[in-house]
């Protein structure tokens, strides 16, 4: 009984196989398969190439096949790319190594979700509305991209320690890990101190930023100008792929400077000042100016053009300056402070402070190495000298009221008495000697 059942089953199976073979021999059997994708996984924001195999496992040729890729989010069509491919003839049993390969290119949206995304492809006959469709899984990774978006210093002063900060931001949609940042200035004019030029970052999340701080010094002898920093950032994505970003940033070395102004000499109404550039940058188009002030008056030009003054250099400028106390009325412009003005000015008013009266206000205007016009104000203690060469610190010491004239000793009551006594004594001695000489001659 069992043997009979087995024979019946084998007979039925044989009949079915013959029917299938007959159907296969008389029909076309077209199939699509995804061979590969490049890159794998596809990267958000970038182009991916998809390669398909089209096979015919039937015994009848397939003619005028149309294979159409349907890009839907997160896949985007590329301008100029053909998404309908036509196969004129696909012969019977054209499969495996003989299969027809077709490929498409699409862009992955920059905001594509990391993981598996489906893409649809349709197969049908040219001119027919009958299509069959199939979906394929495409692996997509997030966009790993970091950007050095901020350098907090645009100008470095030569010879001075300056904090320099770089900000690294993950502007992609996938975290970054094991980042290595470094920078270099090829001429060695700008160098880090207290550390090397390399910093390590373990992890940066999407949209997050990390600040990397350095202390740098520009060579004190550096020529003022713009210097290029070469920036390098290496990092890994979550799938272990290594990436490198190379970019550049510029920093300006130079800027402002400082001056020292000292009194040089004063003679015959001419006052000379020494002006020295004591900073680390050259000064361009330097002008020294004596502005209007309460204690001094300039007769003639109030400004002197020096030109360029390199760091460490100095020059002499001269002005015709008179103290307020030596001019009619006691003040510049011929006006004297009233008693109320003196009280309102307080104990340090110009009329009551010799040291304040001797500080000349000087304004230095120059153009720095960045092209910005700047000014510095200095207070310079000065001494006026009389024609005999004695220094006059007190603006009221010249009782004659004329600049540069020596005061008469007869105006000093303390000296009159001793001088008269000395004259009488000397005259007496001379008279006494003459009397004695006459007596001896007799």
For the domain covering 26-141, report its CATH number.
2.60.40.10
- Residue 64 φ then ψ, to 5°: 50, 50
Domains 26-141 and 260-392 share a fold: yes
pLDDT for position 90: 84
Q: CATH: 3.30.565.10, 3.90.550.10, 3.30.1490.100, 2.60.40.10. Which one for 146-253?
A: 2.60.40.10
Question: 272: which 2 tokens?
Answer: 């000379």
Its pTM stands at: 0.54
pLDDT for position 408: 45
Q: Which of 370, 402, 207 has its CA nearest to residue 284?
A: 370
> Along the 442 residues of the chain, how does pLDDT read in single tens digits?
667 767 777 777 666 655 444 445 568 788 889 999 998 888 888 899 999 999 988 888 888 889 999 999 999 999 999 999 998 888 888 888 888 999 999 999 988 877 889 999 998 887 777 788 899 999 888 766 667 767 877 789 999 999 999 999 888 777 888 999 999 999 999 999 999 999 999 998 888 999 999 999 999 989 989 999 999 999 887 667 788 889 899 999 998 999 999 998 888 778 999 999 999 999 999 999 999 998 898 988 999 999 999 999 999 999 998 887 655 444 433 334 444 444 444 444 444 444 556 889 999 999 999 889 999 999 999 877 644 444 444 443 343 333 333 344 445 556 666 777 777 777 777 777 777 666 665 5
For the domain covering 260-392, report its CATH number.
2.60.40
First to last CA, the chain: 201
Helical ranges in 300-353 per DSSP H: 339-345
H or E segment to which residue 23 belongs: helix 2-25
Q: What is the rounded CA–CA span in Å between residue 77 and residue 12?
A: 51
pLDDT for position 120: 94
Burial (CB count within 10 angstroms: exposed 0-12, middle 13-18, buried 19+), residue 436: exposed
> Is 134:32 a contact under the CB 8 Å cutoff?
yes
- Domain assignments of the chain as residue spans, ordered by start: 26-141, 146-253, 260-392
Q: What is the rounded CA–CA span in Å between residue 442 and residue 438?
A: 7
Distance of CA 62 to the CA centre of its chain: 67
Distance of CA 120 to the CA centre of its chain: 50
DSSP codes joined into one string, 76-135: EPPTT---EEEEEEE-TTB-GGGPEEEEEEEEEPTTPPSEEEEEEEEEEETT-S-EEEEE
Q: Is 384 helix (H, G, I), strand (E, B) or coil?
A: strand
Q: What is the rounded CA–CA span in Å between residue 308 and residue 329?
A: 40
């Amino acid at each position: 009984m069992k043997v009979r059942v087995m024979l019946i089953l084998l007979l039925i199976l044989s009949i079915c196989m013959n029917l299938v073979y007959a159907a296969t021999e008389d029909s076309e059997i077209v199939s699509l398969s995804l061979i590969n994708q490049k890159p794998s996984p596809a990267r958000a924001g970038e182009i991916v190439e998809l390669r398909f195999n089209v096979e015919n496992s039937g015994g009848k040729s397939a003619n005028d096949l149309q294979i159409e890729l349907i890009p839907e989010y997160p896949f985007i069509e590329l301008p100029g790319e053909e998404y309908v491919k036509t196969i004129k003839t696909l012969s019977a049993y054209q499969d495996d190594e003989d299969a027809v390969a077709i490929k498409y290119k699409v862009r992955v949206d920059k905001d594509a979700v990391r993981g598996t995304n489906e893409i649809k492809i349709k197969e049908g006959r040219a001119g027919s509305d009958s299509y069959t469709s199939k979906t394929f899984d495409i692996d997509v990774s997030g966009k790993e991209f970091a950007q050095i978006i901020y350098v907090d210093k645009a100008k470095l002063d030569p010879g001075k320690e300056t904090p320099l900060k770089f900000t690294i931001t993950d502007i992609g949609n996938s975290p970054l890990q094991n980042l290595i940042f470094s920078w270099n200035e090829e001429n060695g004019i700008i160098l880090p101190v207290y550390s090397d030029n390399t910093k390590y970052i373990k992890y940066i999340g999407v949209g997050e930023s990390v600040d990397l701080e350095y202390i740098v010094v520009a060579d004190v002898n550096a020529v003022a100008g713009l210097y290029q920093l070469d920036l390098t950032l290496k990092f890994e994505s979550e799938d272990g792929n290594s990436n490198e970003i190379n970019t550049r940033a510029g920093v300006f070395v130079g800027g402002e400077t400082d001056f020292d102004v000292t009194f040089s000499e004063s003679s015959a109404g001419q006052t000379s000042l020494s002006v020295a550039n004591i900073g680390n940058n050259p000064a361009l188009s330097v002008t020294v100016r004596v502005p209007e002030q309460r204690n001094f008056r300039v007769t003639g030009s109030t400004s002197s053009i020096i030109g360029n003054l390199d760091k460490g250099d100095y020059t002499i400028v001269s002005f015709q300056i008179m103290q307020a106390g030596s001019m009619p009325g006691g003040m510049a412009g011929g006006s004297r402070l009233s008693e109320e003005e003196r009280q309102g000015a307080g104990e340090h008013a110009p009329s009551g402070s010799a040291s304040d009266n001797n500080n000349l206000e000087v304004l230095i205007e120059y153009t720095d190495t960045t092209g910005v016009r700047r000014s510095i104000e200095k207070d310079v203690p000065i001494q006026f000298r009389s024609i005999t060469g004695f220094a006059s610190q007190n603006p009221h010491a010249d009782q004659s009221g004329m600049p540069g004239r020596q005061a008469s000793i007869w105006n000093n009551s303390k000296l009159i008495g001793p001088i008269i006594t000395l004259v009488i004594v000397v005259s007496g001695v001379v008279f006494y000697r003459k009397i004695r000489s006459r007596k001896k001659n007799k």
